[in-house]
Structure 1
């Protein structure tokens, strides 16, 4: 007969063996998943984590009820409540659009995509219904010009997923909200692009665009090109990430529409793309071996939006030959791990908090509130590439700074003339 001591020992041994077997099974599963697909799984889960509070609450009619309105210290949230909800929705839409445009399949990732896509279509309907508690403000203040533009960019990036399935009443309401933006104007800088792309979007859905807003945006942005892939944000140059937050991606999307109506030549569009590619080279080099990057300039609370231009170039398959797509994947993955894993950027309910890498409300700009922070989704554009794209399937590759700081050969950099 086995005594109690031996029985306890056998039980303990069984638990240890079972635990080890489960751990080995998990490790084996992880090892069987190629590293690029591990990165994709991480990206898609992280984007879902960021975007889902905005999209699911909008679909449920609880966005204004549940979204906090954190503002810079010393400011009162009353004004921000007029604009922050549209900020959150428009910016989130622009970031998730390429991902939601992918076809459904049987993967866990596809289930996340479908859940967000279905919810967003309901949410868009709610956002423009004047009788709905989450009806968003397009009608007062200047800020809606900005965030309607990100919504427009989302429709342009994923028309079959986000525009075509909408019912006709919702489509007409969107038309009217966008035309209502013409009662206001904004700053004399990148805001011209917002007004321009709003009009360009209207032209794609059967409305007459305002030719003055379109032409003014086109001419002034081109005049503000400084060279070597950099635009100034208005008449004066500012060293910040606005070339990625707004200027390059939105100008390229804007010009793509204008080429269809022959308001911009194919050569002008190609030049805008070349300049964005050149800027993307700088973006890739900004990323340090540990995944950090310089926190300079305005609006650094937009976090991973600093790499929207780099991501769009990858999404368009326009990376220079010397940059392996896996370099970009690994570099931006390192940024995401450095930023989102090592510091808590979310409150207890999953909403982004004011800060660059963690909760740092003192570094927020005066125009920033909770909704503004959802620019961060713009750093995830390569998720619009299918899982079998070389961006995800190529073996891991060191990025330029990692090569440079480890004694490897890397490409020298030179000024370009275009």
Structure 2
């Protein structure tokens, strides 16, 4: 009898939990949560840079065994990575909604901060000129300009534009790692090409040729000569390769077929990422750089932003899956310090898992998971009814499309 009471009590608890989990949440509520969370992450970086207090106020946490020149690189990391994720949202037109007002303020502060970042007289003049790491983070700045040219590049005054161009060209005095870093150099040069500036075609072509050579199949690129099982295909390779090839196609410097193949591969990779979201809204913490947190989903977010998801991956299931992940990671305070800055870790303060190149500024790659805020509030990504993501359907015994490998 005692067993039966316990058993039925557990059934009751389970049913209550399931009922709570099935509570309907609208896409508008999801969007409000995404906006609040992205603002929470980005605000300290953007606001302080606008006020020339980034160097003064940003904490300088670094991984055990950290091997870079911290104060020469971490601030540009924070800027480039933050704005690359903000850019699609910032690019939306102004409106009188509370979100619209917040977005306008964020854009205005970011533009002010960008001027400070390349002004040699500013307390927050950022380093592009020495060290290897700026090759990486200048590329994220350039990526943001490509994602939101009318919001982030065109409004800059001519002096600030000239300064950015000079800083980007100064990167040519250095080389980086023989892996995904080739794309960083290529993308920055691609941005220069897009605005009619002199660019280095060798850096561009070399990066594309090596990515073609390093493709191993079924949407996976090797990150250099040896394959690494991690999230760098999403952190860097697919989004930057696709967007670089788009510039080249637009400028008639590459065939359309190259872009089409790269896009197909990113879409296939997006399928993998969607399937990696567990029924509970978690995902595997494997590979290098897991401190980049939600940047792991950049390729999925970009495919959805471009409205290029496969027809059997509904926008709503991507929204719901990512929202569940974001709640797990950002509802509490475990990933923030008492002043709102991100801390080293995956889901908490876990400095032991940070890589030797990781510091506070590095962590702001997390914004790349939020690209879908660039879809307006009336897009079906936000308006469609909630839908279960693939692993949730699979573990609940629902119909799921059989997975497959692709040959392109």
**Superposition TM-score, scaled by structure 1 size:** 0.91
Over aligned residues, Cα RMSD in angstroms? Answer: 1.3
Match of 2:100 in 1: 110
Q: Distance in 2 between matches of 1:112 and 1:342?
A: 22
Q: Which residue of 2 aligns with 1:267?
A: 257
Aligned to 1:309: 299
- Confirm or deny: 8 A CA contact 1:290 1:338 kept in the other structure: no
Question: How far did residue 265 of structure 1 move?
Answer: 0.8
The alignment of Structure 1 onto Structure 2 pairs a total of residues equal to: 386
Determine the structure 2 residue equivalent to 1:45.
Answer: 36
Query: Is the CA contact (8 Å cut-off) linking 1:72 and 1:361 kept in structure 2?
Result: yes
Contact 2:230 2:288 in 1 (8 A): yes
1:369 equivalent to 2:398? Answer no
CA contact (8 A) 2:25 2:386 kept: no
1:240-288 Cα distance to aligned partner (Å, 9 max, x none): 0000000000000000001022221111101100000000000000000
How far the C-alpha of 1:208 sits from its partner, in A, is 1.2
In structure 2, C-alpha distance between the alignment counterparts of 1:343 and 1:65, rounded to whole Å: 23
Q: CA deviation at 1:112?
A: 1.1
Q: CA deviation at 1:74?
A: 4.9
1:83 partner SS: helix
Structure 2 equivalent of residue 152 of structure 1 = 142
2:122 to 124, 132, 135: 132
Matched residue, 2:273: 283
Q: Distance in 1 between matches of 2:326 and 2:382?
A: 16
Question: Measured at CA, do residues 244 and 174 of structure 1 come closer, stay the same or move farther in structure 2, by a change above 3 Å?
Answer: same
Q: What does 1:244-259 correspond to in 2, within 5 Å?
A: 244-259=234-249
- After superposition, the C-alpha distances for 1:219-249 in whole angstroms (9 at most, x for unaligned) are 0011111110110101110000000000000
Q: 2:3 maps to which residue?
A: none
Structure 2 distance, partners of 1:267, 1:154, is: 25
- Indicate the larger mover: 213-222 or 202-211: 202-211
SS at match of 1:82: helix
CA contact (8 A) 1:344 1:359 kept: yes
- Equivalent-residue separation in structure 2 for 1:336 and 1:75 (angstroms): 28
Q: Structure 2: 5+ residue runs without aligned partners?
A: 1-22
In the alignment, the residues of structure 1 paired with residue 29 and residue 279 of structure 2 have an alpha-carbon distance, to the nearest angstrom, of 20
Name the structure 2 match of 1:54: 45
Deviations 1:104-125 (A, max 9, x none): 1111111111111000000000
* Cα offset, 1:75, TM superposition: 4.3
SS in 2 for 1:226: strand
Q: Work out whether residues 299 and 364 of structure 1, in 8 Å CA contact, stay in contact via their aligned partners in 2.
A: yes
State the 4+ residue runs in structure 1 displaced beyond 3 angstroms: none
Q: Residue 73 of structure 1: CA displacement?
A: 2.8
Task: Kindly indicate whether residue 299 of structure 2 is the aligned counterpart of residue 322 of structure 1.
Answer: no
Displacement of 1:211 in angstroms is 1.3
Structure 1 residue 377 displacement after superposition: 0.1
Give distance in 1, aligned partners of 2:251 and 2:107. Answer: 30
Q: 2:156 aligned with 1:166, yes or no? A: yes
Helix, strand or coil at the partner of 1:256? helix
Query: What do the CA deviations read for 1:360-385 (whole angstroms, capped 9, x no partner)?
Result: 00000000000000000000000000
Aligned 8 A contact 1:197 1:250 in 2: yes
